[in-house]
A and B are shown apart, each in its own frame.
Chain A
Amino acid sequence: MPIIIEKLTHTYMPNTISRHIAVDSVDLTINEGEFFGIIGHTGSGKSTLIQHLNGLIQPTSGRVIVDGYDMSDKKQRVKGRALVGMVFQYPDYQLFDSTVLDDVAFGPKNMGLSVEEAKTRAEEAMRTVGLDPEQFAEKSPFELSGGEKRRAALAGIIAMRPKYLVLDEPMAGLDPSGRRGVLETISALRKELGCTVIMVSHSMEDVARSAERIAVMNDSKLYMTGTPDEIFSKTKELIELGLDAPQTARLAQLLRERGVPVPEDIYTNERFTEWFRGRMSNA
């Protein structure tokens, strides 16, 4: 069953001078098993939007329905929330326990699992994200490096075995190898557990590489949705919105403006290289 977002509007501090509409009547359906990317510049409402997905904040108007559970209803929300795992941007906001293992087991314990079972799940999740339990289980989460912290935080959510995994800027502030590592982990997870991934990012490269469907947020509104092919063929529009397009797409756009006929569906390094090779051998 999908996640259905209907006419979702969220206003911060309503009825005051500083009221601010963060999300404005967004309609969106996220299908089961998808890798769904949400892009938009800072303040476009993407973080606010995804916080509705597991009921952390309530819509000012509209509805969010996760597998048939209405997240506005207090009782249904508990059930819906168990399906949606939410990984926040900064792991520093959630790591707290004395050892990595205990920290990862925090979620499963809250789900009412026994300590034993929670630990088993925690170890499993640590292995999934590439943190060897032998090496990391008894370490303090505060001793970890940035990338390791991110993995530990991710493991803390995965250990709860969510059906939908929501990631808010999972690669922000990581170096290229850390980014690649996290992205690979997410893709592997998807194959292994078959969960739906919803990823918010403003790195177009990351989204272009892995998402199957993309939503573009602009000025609190849903600007467009589509496959990466559909979205990144509109490089010019994206740039006008103040969004970045993937570097390759920008290069292709610049070439097009100078009269080189680069096809519209070229926005990843791999495709560009392929096209360029073909062109070179034809010439």
Chain B
Amino acid sequence: MLKDITLGQYVPGDSVLHRLDPRTKILLMIAYIVAVFLVKRVEVFFVVILFTVGVTLLSRMKLSYLVKALKPMKLLLPLMFLMNLFLIKTGRLVFEWWIFKIYTDGVKNAVFIVLRLATLVAGTSLLTLTTTPIALTDGLEKLLTPLKIIKFPAHELAMMITIALRFIPTLIEEADKIMKAQLARGADFESGNVLKRAKALVPVLIPLFVNSFRRADELAMAMESRCYHGGDGRTKMRVYAFKLIDLYAVIAVALLIAAVVLLNRFLPTFLP
């Protein structure tokens, strides 16, 4: 039933991308998003796509993972495309049938928006594909540490994310067991309207919540008995250091941004 859900999309490996410092990866992902948003002309997306595909190959990840990352957008992308295609009414009229009119600007915008969203999602998915959730929260904690000056709980936030991620599979397994126990008592989760089905979930949700609270209590106790007292003075098992490959990665993304900015300005137009 619920057991077949796989969580997290991390794909183990030993590529350059896997070995990058998680902090570098998080920051470069932000830089990549900036690069995507800097693109002003459809043609310039060629560079971004080239970069994304290149990085994917470098991570020794199959290109099909990029397509998989786009799967949740299989409704949004076509919708955005069609809306832009038919609703923009500037430029030259290129197609007309019944009430549908397509203008050149509509076509350009539709392609532009779809490319922007697709590169954004596919590119950023590389971060979660090549970084373990633990490394990711570790990196996030380090990056947020300077904010401690304004009393931002960086360590606590990272710990919360780590614990939440850790317990997702446990909760799924438990929900599965509870559902079976209630099914055995004749509970019916599959028939009736939405309201009835929502009501049928009460016997599953209550034990799930009760057990979660109990577990949280036990976990807190176990952490305290091992002298956990928050982030102050706590050292890390994995110490991340800025290495040469991190520098190369920064240069690569800097080059991407430079290329985007320059091409925006100087690439001769060959589109109508």
The finding on whether chains A and B are genuine partners in a shared complex, rather than unrelated, reads yes
- The answer to whether A160 and B181 touch (CB under 8 A), given A12-B3, A92-B210, A92-B211, is no
- Report the Cα distance A156→B184, complex, angstroms: 10
Which A residues, 195 to 215, have Cβ-Cβ distances below 8 Å to chain B?
A: none
Residues of B within 8 A of A36 (CB): none
0/1 string, A150-184, CB within 8 A of B gives 1: 00000011001000000000000000000000000
Q: Is the CB of B181 within 8 A of A94?
A: yes
Q: Is the CB of B181 within 8 A of A88?
A: yes
**B14 smallest CB distance to A (angstroms):** 18
Tell yes or no: B8 within 8 A of A by CB: no
Q: Is the CB of B210 within 8 A of A160?
A: no
Q: Is the CB of B183 within 8 A of A56?
A: yes
Q: Is the CB of A51 within 8 A of B185?
A: no
Residues of A within 8 A of B188 (CB): 110
Partner of B174, one of A93, A96, A97: A93
- Report the Cα distance A254→B184, complex, angstroms: 43
- Report the Cα distance A97→B178, complex, angstroms: 14
Tell yes or no: A80 within 8 A of B by CB: no
**B3 smallest CB distance to A (angstroms):** 7
Tell yes or no: B108 within 8 A of A by CB: no
Q: Is the CB of A94 within 8 A of B3?
A: no
0/1 string, A24-59, CB within 8 A of B gives 1: 000000000000000000000000000100101100
**A217 smallest CB distance to B (angstroms):** 19
- Report the Cα distance A92→B204, complex, angstroms: 11
Which A residues, 121 to 172, have Cβ-Cβ distances below 8 Å to chain B?
A: 142, 156-157, 160
Residues of B within 8 A of A111 (CB): 186
Q: Is the CB of A106 within 8 A of B183?
A: no
Q: Is the CB of A86 within 8 A of B184?
A: yes
Tell yes or no: A13 within 8 A of B by CB: yes
- Report the Cα distance A54→B181, complex, angstroms: 11
Tell yes or no: B94 within 8 A of A by CB: no
Residues of A within 8 A of B211 (CB): 92-93
Q: Is the CB of B187 within 8 A of A88?
A: no
- The answer to whether A107 and B185 touch (CB under 8 A), given A12-B3, A88-B180, is yes
Tell yes or no: A95 within 8 A of B by CB: yes
Tell yes or no: B202 within 8 A of A by CB: yes
**A146 smallest CB distance to B (angstroms):** 13
- Report the Cα distance A97→B206, complex, angstroms: 8
* CB closest residue in chain B, given A82: B186
- Report the Cα distance A57→B177, complex, angstroms: 11
Q: Is the CB of A13 within 8 A of B4?
A: yes
Q: Is the CB of A96 within 8 A of B207?
A: yes
Q: Is the CB of B203 within 8 A of A106?
A: yes
Partner of A106, one of B4, B177, B185, B210: B185
Tell yes or no: A228 within 8 A of B by CB: no
Tell yes or no: B182 within 8 A of A by CB: yes
- The answer to whether A94 and B186 touch (CB under 8 A), given A88-B180, A88-B181, is no
Partner of B185, one of A12, A90, A94: A94
- Report the Cα distance A90→B208, complex, angstroms: 13
* CB closest residue in chain A, given B211: A92
Q: Is the CB of B207 within 8 A of A95?
A: yes
**B132 smallest CB distance to A (angstroms):** 18
Which A residues, 92 to 126, have Cβ-Cβ distances below 8 Å to chain B?
A: 92-97, 106-107, 110-111
Partner of B177, one of A88, A95, A110: A88
**B171 smallest CB distance to A (angstroms):** 13
Q: Is the CB of B206 within 8 A of A96?
A: yes
Which B residues, 187 to 227, have Cβ-Cβ distances below 8 Å to chain A?
A: 187-188, 202-204, 206-207, 210-211, 214
Residues of A within 8 A of B203 (CB): 94, 96-97, 106
Tell yes or no: A85 within 8 A of B by CB: yes
What 13 additional pairs, Cβ within 8 angstroms, besides A106-B203, A111-B186, A156-B185?
A: A12-B3, A13-B3, A51-B180, A86-B184, A88-B181, A93-B174, A93-B211, A94-B181, A96-B206, A106-B182, A110-B188, A142-B210, A160-B186
Chain A to chain B contacts (Cβ below 8 Å), 20 pairs:
A12-B3, A56-B184, A81-B184, A85-B184, A86-B181, A86-B184, A88-B177, A88-B181, A92-B207, A92-B210, A92-B214, A93-B178, A94-B181, A94-B207, A96-B207, A106-B182, A106-B203, A157-B184, A160-B185, A160-B186
Measuring CB to CB, which residues of chain B are less than 8 angstroms from any residue of chain A? 1, 3-4, 174, 177-178, 180-188, 202-204, 206-207, 210-211, 214
